[in-house]
Amino acid sequence: MSARHDLHNLTLAEQAAQLAAKAVSSVELTQAALARVQAHDALGAFLSVDADVALAQAAAADARRAQGDATALLGVPIAHKDIFVTTDFASTAASKMLAGYRSPFDATVVAKLKAAGTVTLGKLNCDEFAMGSANENSAYNKVINPWDAKRIPGGSSGGSAAAVAARLVGGATGTDTGGSIRQPAALTGITGIKPTYGRCSRYGMIAFASSLDQAGPMARSAEDCALLLSAMSGFDERDATSAQRPAEDFAAALKAPRAGATADKPLQGLRIGLPKEFFGAGLAADVNGAVRAALAELEKLGATLVDVSLPRTELSIPVYYIIAPAEASSNLSRFDGVKFGHRAAQYKDLNDMYAKTRAEGFGPEVKRRIMIGAYVLSHGYYDAYYLQAQKLRRMIADDFQAAFKQCDVIAGPVTPTVARPVGSAVDPLADYLADIFTLPASLAGLPGMSVPAGFGEAGLPVGLQLIGNYWQEAALLHTAHAFQQATDWHTRAPAGF
């Protein structure tokens, strides 16, 4: 079989089709992917790669195919955000606190994708403990945006987004706490979906904010995301927040016609809600223009646009930045230098060991959020801050339910602007404010996705956000797929990749 140099241009679905047709082997796909990862190491997307592990998995996948196994993703190379623990690779959460840590088990999401036959190339860079919106908080190296090396790729799943956008890998796992799949997907021109909270197991996902964290796929198209989500979702008795939902074939649902739809109007009858709060003064003109053009395309496909309101959108920022740090301060208390992870070399007593270990192991943003969380949970402030935030969270979720009485899907921008320059955030609050459009769905536990929708300033990607009601991932993916069948934004690659 002669070497091919175009394999990186294949989507996951195309790779799967080539494997099924025996036009290419998993070993060949994996070798090509490993070569690209090495060639583009300067992106900073990968924290660890193991060619021996990947090629052994690829050979095993080829052997399964030879025996008649026709599992959809069998032999397809992917990579995992380094927030999922793995036995084959170090699991660091991009923090010095877990430098070199090897888990004795795989996260459920990793195990499910491994059972589906995917090949793991390695672990992907991210903001430390998934805290950040720019991927500037990794303890090891920054990730750069393939579209412009002087721009951020978004965070916290920036390594996943950059790897997919640069065609180093066809698909990757990410996690979304307040927008960490959707925001980097938008800023790098790829597709990503945050499922309903509880759709994918959190077992083996290094916790940031337990009531918000959710795993999801990142790939070039809705079709690829559907394939990955079908394999990685499902009930897990080891995760108390995992929902007992029947398994769904999202790839099949993607292509199932809507009632009353026609070939040229695949979205006939779909009502798309436009929250007026998503199109206010804070939205950049170039992003607004791209999103409006995408909405016009959805209308051409048969959808009807409906004005709706999410009146508590602005409150989502203070609510999130009370609840998430509070949960982070609790979750990260386990990193004390006693059982695993970094331990200070010199200390006088137990308290001194705790203090020095955490001072050395945690980065500035993680320390900031731990301190905020400890404050809002402290005696005298719990009722004033944390309890009030939880009440407002319920009201934000109620706003969505009121909106869904008028529409089937909610649409709008993912981010207020295109990717900002590296190092341009004047203070942490500037990045917090950039999450205004992704936080509401996270607080409500709703599924949301980012779909490539054009380009803005300096030729940088813009994402269209689609938000569905609980367990309506299939409807989101169907809408995104119809849009991608009519447009080519998701096929565009950054120059040089």
Contact of 218 with 160, CB cutoff 8 Å: yes
User: Any catalytic annotation for residue 138?
Assistant: no
Helix (H, G, I), strand (E, B) or coil at 451: strand
Q: Alpha carbon of 80 to those of 85, 163, 284, 418: distances in Å?
A: 9, 11, 32, 25
The alpha carbon of residue 275 and the mean position of all alpha carbons in its chain are separated, in whole angstroms, by 23
Contact of 224 with 12, CB cutoff 8 Å: yes
CA distance 153 to 218: 13
Q: Alpha carbon of 481 to those of 257, 302, 487: distances in Å?
A: 12, 14, 10
In this structure, which amino acid lies at residue 118?
Answer: T
Q: Which of 103, 156, 221, 450 is catalytic?
A: 156
**Residue 471 CB neighbours (<10 A):** 16
- Whether the link from the prior residue into 316 is cis, omega within 30° of 0, is no
User: Any catalytic annotation for residue 156?
Assistant: yes
List the beta bridge partners of residue 142: none
List the beta bridge partners of residue 214: 176
CA distance 30 to 4: 12
CA distance 418 to 439: 17
List the beta bridge partners of residue 410: 273, 467
Q: Which of 25, 26, 48, 81 is catalytic?
A: 81
Helix (H, G, I), strand (E, B) or coil at 136: coil
Q: Which residues contact 48 (CB under 8 A, 6 or more apart)?
A: 82, 89, 90, 122, 123
Contact of 295 with 410, CB cutoff 8 Å: no
Q: 13 is written with which tokens?
A: 């679905």
In this structure, which amino acid lies at residue 190?
Answer: I
User: Any catalytic annotation for residue 180?
Assistant: yes
336 φ/ψ angles, rounded to the nearest 5 degrees:
-125, 5
Integer-rounded Cα Rg, in Å, for the chain is 21
Q: Which of 103, 138, 160, 180 is catalytic?
A: 180
**Residue 67 CB neighbours (<10 A):** 7
**Which residues participate in catalysis according to the annotation?**
81, 156, 180
